[in-house]
Structure 1
């Protein structure tokens, strides 16, 4: 029976997370995606800024992590069941092309309570100017008010990114058989280049399974 591979795709807003996840899913027969943007807490549970008349969507507490954990469990079991059925049908067990893979995409994955589940961590980065250029072209529901990006979105991205960088430094000072690792990827690279790298990273990881 194949062991499930879980790939986290996180990082900056509008960095290319969903695009990469969707393209990777097309390459793997037994795979699925969880988009955590669809699993936030009810709006009345989010922090509210009365000046902007808007809720804060960019902190760890925005997401319903218990619900996300349940979705991970359900998706994982479905993928493993599909893998078993296909293995019996085709009489094979270890072909990498049919390895079950769960892709999870969204901001703050590696700052969250589910960080430990990931086999591969991919983190998109952008500079502030490019990030804002992309974000202001996107339509949000509810509509994002002027000032939100500067007050919450960008500062919180930098805060959580710094938290991860410090986590890596602390881990590197420890002796561990499996060092904590995050692959930082520039979001302004061509998506096909990033896709090629990510797919190679998955294959390399599977060879060590």
Structure 2
């Protein structure tokens, strides 16, 4: 049994969840873990001097629980209960390969996660487009006036800068303004290449 752990990170409203769901429907034995499922309750999230709830930082998340969930999946992916059926054209050598897509806005700035990724993708958006998309979403709790400019966007720039400064981190940056079809085609093809590498390794191992 082999596993591929794919990171799909990046900017808020960049299309991470939609892309992850579409990939799951196309790939064999594929599951998703969402970082949003590990947010602390509102009462445990810090508030700054402006009254902003600081959700866009690592301290707002149960990151240890997230790492444990990923590791547990890696140990026993077939028992997760939500593995998709394999497409008919799945190669026999790949039937025991399982894929986990982890999607979230702060995936690559937490050191314990960095040893788990096989591939890392990071969706980006320009400021105006990101703010426009954010304004169409309803959050609980709701964004307060000035929240995007005062907290969300600055934290995105901060963590993206940290990522870019980490020369050892191999990340594939994706333009979130491109169509979902174009993004899906690119990432899907890239993951298939990874699967083919595993197939070649399996064939060499059984030769």
- TM-score interval w.r.t. the shorter chain? 0.7 to 0.9
The answer to whether the aligner puts 1:197 opposite 2:197 as a matched pair is no
Matching residue of 1:187: 176
TM-score (normalised: structure 1): 0.83
Deviations 1:18-56 (A, max 9, x none): 01100000012311111111111233332113533x411
Partner of 2:62: 64
Q: Which runs of 5+ in 2 are unaligned?
A: 199-207
Contact persistence 1:15–1:131 (CA under 8 A): yes
TM-score by length of 2: 0.84
Corresponding position of 1:24: 23
Q: Distance in 1 between matches of 2:103 and 2:154?
A: 21
Specify the alignment match of 1:14 in structure 2: 13
How far apart in 2 are the matches of 1:46 and 1:148?
15
- Structure 1 Cα separation of the partners of residues 114 and 106 of structure 2: 9
Q: CA RMSD in A?
A: 2.1
Cα deviation, residue 76, structure 1 = 2.5
Task: Map 1:1-209 to 2 at 5 A.
Answer: 1=1, 3-49=2-48, 51-52=50-51, 54-80=52-78, 94-95=93-94, 99-113=97-111, 114-168=113-167, 171=168, 180-209=169-198
Residues 77, 98 of structure 2: 8 Å contact kept? yes
2: CA distance between counterparts of 1:162 and 1:188?
A: 20
SS at match of 1:116: coil
* Number of positions where the alignment pairs a residue of Structure 1 with one of Structure 2: 189
